[in-house]
Amino acid sequence: MNIAFAGFRHGHILGLYDSVLASDEVNLAGCFEENGAVREQMKADKGITFSYDSYDALLKDDSVDVVAIGDYYGIRGKRIIEALKAGKHVIADKPLCTDLDELEEIRVLTEQTGLKVCCMLDLRYMPQVGKVKEMVQSGSLGTIHIASFNGQHCLDYGVRPNWYFEDGKHGGTINDIAIHGIDLLRLITGENLTEVICARTWNAFATQEPGFHDCAQFMVKLGEIAVTADVSYAAPKCSEMLPSYWEFTLWGTKGMVRFCLKDGNLYVFRSEAETIPCGAWEPALLQDFLKELKGEPSLFCTSDVLEMQKQVLLIQKAAK
């Protein structure tokens, strides 16, 4: 199985790149990056060799089975569509795309060809997720009526890529960040988006870029569950150390549960409080993607990933 990389405009893709290099199941076929400055940075920082001088050249390489996409958000849909038309499977950083029409074309192509599309939704591997899903779906917390999550990030202006603030390249803070939270709640509850009650994005902290809506909040329904979320670029630089960083809370008729990315514990509150250690983070994104390609049971499924992306884009579209 040969994987070629197209785009290194966001650092997330480097985790997948390292996984490919460490894997004995896949081979690195080559890399392409359109932006000269990014190419030089990747050569210097990671020792990456760029063997394709165009995306078209990558797609015409018959040895390539999978294209891994880490370009800027606004071009990802186009890149995925072109890869599918060239007969390649795709694994991409989140979000997959920023446009509902492009997403629909991707869906149609996957159904017509049987090709697979995976998204780097690594919060699925938080150690608490399996236990929370079991508790929720077994009914041990009763009927879940309310859920919330906080996915605030640090804007880190001057370090974050400049393309974030260029017209047509970012696509919205909800689509950028909330994709992780909606994906996780869908996985845990088994529910889908039924209504966007309200959504707002606005500029507050990114004073250097007044056209960039760095703040984002919304309230939606997944099934009959009321979900509130804040995914603003409002956190201080130490955002990953905050107890609220990727914090999820679900309230049921028999109790509530809380967990976050900062530790591996599950905090359960019924008549008494209980702390359940859940172990270490063990991401296996590449392995699960390969399982889907082989037709084996996997944490990822193309149709589910595309449906999740659609639901997040609908929330983004509703934002005012």
Domain boundaries along the sequence of the chain: 2-120, 123-283
For residue 283, what pLDDT is reported?
85
For residue 117, what pLDDT is reported?
99
Nearest by Cα to 124 from 314, 3, 306, 305 = 305
Query: Mean pLDDT over residues 61-65, rounded?
Result: 99
For residue 235, what pLDDT is reported?
94
Q: What is the mean pLDDT of the chain?
A: 97
Q: State whether residue 287 is helix, strand or coil.
A: helix
Domains 2-120 and 123-283 share a fold: no
Residues facing 250 on adjacent strands = 147, 257
pLDDT in tens, 130-180: 999 999 999 999 999 999 999 999 999 999 999 999 999 999 999 999 999
- CA–CA separation, 131 and 235 (whole Å): 28
Residues facing 83 on adjacent strands = none
What's the CATH number of domain 2-120, 3.40.50.1820, 3.90.420.10, 3.40.50.720, 1.10.3720.10? Answer: 3.40.50.720
pLDDT in tens, 23-59: 999 999 999 999 999 999 999 999 999 999 999 999 9
- CA–CA separation, 217 and 140 (whole Å): 30
The secondary structure of the chain in percent helix, strand, coil, rounded to multiples of 5, reads 35, 25, 40
Question: How many degrees, rounded to 5, is the angle at CA 120 between CA 17 and CA 108?
Answer: 115
pLDDT in tens, 196-208: 999 999 999 999 9
Q: Exposure pattern of 131-141 as b/e (b: 16+ CB <10 Å)? A: bbeebbeeeeb
pLDDT grade, residue 237 (50/70/90)? confident
pLDDT surpasses 90 at 281: no
89 Cβ contact list (under 8 Å, min separation 6): 65, 66, 67, 83, 115, 116, 117, 293
pLDDT in tens, 71-106: 999 999 999 999 999 999 999 999 999 999 999 999
- CA–CA separation, 68 and 92 (whole Å): 5
**Per-residue tokens: 47:** 């020792």
Q: Which CATH superfamily is domain 123-283 in?
A: Dihydrodipicolinate Reductase; domain 2 (3.30.360.10)
pLDDT surpasses 80 at 239: no
